[in-house]
Amino acid sequence: MAEKIDYEKISDDEFRLRFRTWLIANFPAHLKQNHHRPFRRLRGDDAVNWLNLLDKNGWRAPAWPREFGGMGLSFRKQLIYHEELEHAGVARVIDLGESQLGPTLIKCGSAEQRAEYLPKILSCEHVWCQGYSEPGAGSDLASLRTSAVRDRNDFVVNGQKIWTTQANDSTHIFMLVRTGQFPKKQLGISFLLIDLKTPGITIRPIVNLAGEDEFCEVFFDDVRVPAKNLVGELDQGWSVAKALLGYERVWIGSPVLAGKALALANTLVRELNLTDDQGVMDRLAQLSADLHDYRLLYAEICNGIADGGQPGVEVSMLKLYASELLQGLTEFNQEIAAEYGGIVGDVEIGATLVDLHWQFMMARPVTVFAGANEIQRDILAKAVLRMAED
Ligand SMILES: Cc1cc2nc3c(=O)[nH]c(=O)nc-3n(C[C@H](O)[C@H](O)[C@H](O)COP(=O)(O)OP(=O)(O)OC[C@H]3O[C@@H](n4cnc5c(N)ncnc54)[C@H](O)[C@@H]3O)c2cc1C
């Protein structure tokens, strides 16, 4: 294990250079994002091995305080950290233990929960998924019905979760469950930690439009969960879950995926000899200008947070803009490729190997997850009209 360096003691430029150099030397070339897989994600052993390597070399959990094993970076250095991952073409990992559960436990967990779970998140002994959505409780999450009833030292959990990303790759799930009925439905929800090996749990993968089994249904049938796995107060899980939403939307709003789709668009226009097609070039110019504007907006909001601000409702703008831009670009890529765009699987366009169907389909859900875009518009409208929040 490398000695933990305090990166806040070195300049931003020095930090950037060190991380860049390390990434170039250590991220496996065959797992990089490229035109073929512009939004590539790591799964299973590839993900665990990569996160382990980051951990062993002191590059894991940039936002966690150093006392809990993280890097303790300021927001500005976290931005550099993410920029360098993107710059190096490092495939993304959906690491909800690091990005969501760890910060939640640091903020709302007990000392015992932090001691038990945080080190295992860092080492990847535990891989976590998020069990919030249910059939009938997505945007209106507070309508969730999966119940947890106290029975001596346990909760007994019954119900179903859906769209649980990578539950089939995970060892544990953090969940919102109904523990009480109150006139305000956000009350009576609690935050529970559950080992997915507990008897009574069934995981059924769902194949998405791109052909990947990336999310699942998870069924709970009289599942006994130790009461000590409750995070925060009983019936107050809504506040526990909401504590982190602002930062989640900042990272989800990153312009990087749209940037990769635009790079592919430029390559396709060249390979398909479309540079004389005024209609195509006008659309490309518009999309490029939109991405340029968006990068400036993203930088402005991030710099505001780095200068000591808190993520406010404007982060909803990021989620909206980034997701719609990505869809616009992947649609453009598929359309200009004409007959190639309809092929499912790999196709060679000039010297470039692409899978246009995959990049198009992988961009479809971005307007739905992490708060559907209509809901983000609602949040923005309420802020502008100064209406009361739920
Ligand atoms: C790829 C992907 C991964 C996901 N991963 C997870 C996960 O790991 N864990 C998890 O818990 N969940 C996950 N989800 C679920 C996600 O959070 C929900 O899909 C999302 O909250 C929307 O809920 P819903 O699907 O039930 O749609 P609904 O809420 O039924 O919405 C359907 C449509 O109606 C619109 N709508 C709903 N309410 C309103 C309103 N009040 N005003 C205007 N329009 C409205 C929505 O915008 C949407 O267009 C994932 C979803 C996707 C697509």
pLDDT surpassing 90 at residue 306: no
Is there a domain that residue 186 lies in? yes
Is there a domain that residue 108 lies in? no
Last residue of a domain, one of 176, 210, 239: 239
List the domain range (segments joined by +) for residue 75. 7-93
Please give the number of the atom of ligand 1 that sits closest to the Cα of 378: 42
Out of 134, 214, 248, 314, which one is annotated catalytic? 248
Same domain, 379 and 304: yes
pLDDT-based confidence at residue 33 (cuts at 50, 70, 90): confident
Whole-number percent of the chain with pLDDT over 90: 82
Task: Indicate which CATH number applies to the domain containing 66.
Answer: 1.10.540.10
Annotated catalytic, 248? yes
What confidence tens digit (pLDDT) does each residue in 117-163 have?
Answer: 999 999 999 999 999 999 999 999 999 999 999 999 999 999 999 99
Decide whether any atom of ligand 1 lies within 6 Å of the 245 Cβ.
no
Mean pLDDT of 319-337: 96
Same domain, 380 and 254: yes
Contacts of 121 (CB under 8 A, 6+ apart): 97, 98, 101, 102, 128
Task: Indicate which CATH number applies to the domain containing 139.
Answer: 2.40.110.10
Please give the number of the atom of ligand 1 that sits closest to the Cα of 166: 8
Same domain, 77 and 52: yes
Same domain, 270 and 375: yes
* Residue 176: per-residue pLDDT: 98
Q: How far is the CA of 350 from the centre of ligand 1 (A)?
A: 39
What confidence tens digit (pLDDT) does each residue in 153-204 have?
Answer: 999 999 999 999 999 999 999 999 999 999 999 999 999 999 999 999 999 9
Please state the pTM of the whole predicted model. 0.94
Same domain, 174 and 265: no
Last residue of a domain, one of 42, 70, 93: 93
Same domain, 270 and 373: yes
To test the ligand 1 pocket, which listed residue (368, 373, 377, 389) has its Cβ within 8 A of the most ligand atoms?
368
Task: Indicate which CATH number applies to the domain containing 304.
Answer: 1.20.140.10
Same domain, 235 and 333: no
Same domain, 256 and 377: yes
Last residue of a domain, one of 188, 214, 239: 239
Same domain, 190 and 263: no
Mean pLDDT of 54-58: 95
pLDDT surpassing 90 at residue 305: no
pLDDT surpassing 90 at residue 51: yes
Number of domains in the chain: 3
Residue 185 phi, psi (nearest 5)? -70, -15
Decide whether any atom of ligand 1 lies within 6 Å of the 49 Cβ.
no
Decide whether any atom of ligand 1 lies within 6 Å of the 163 Cβ.
yes
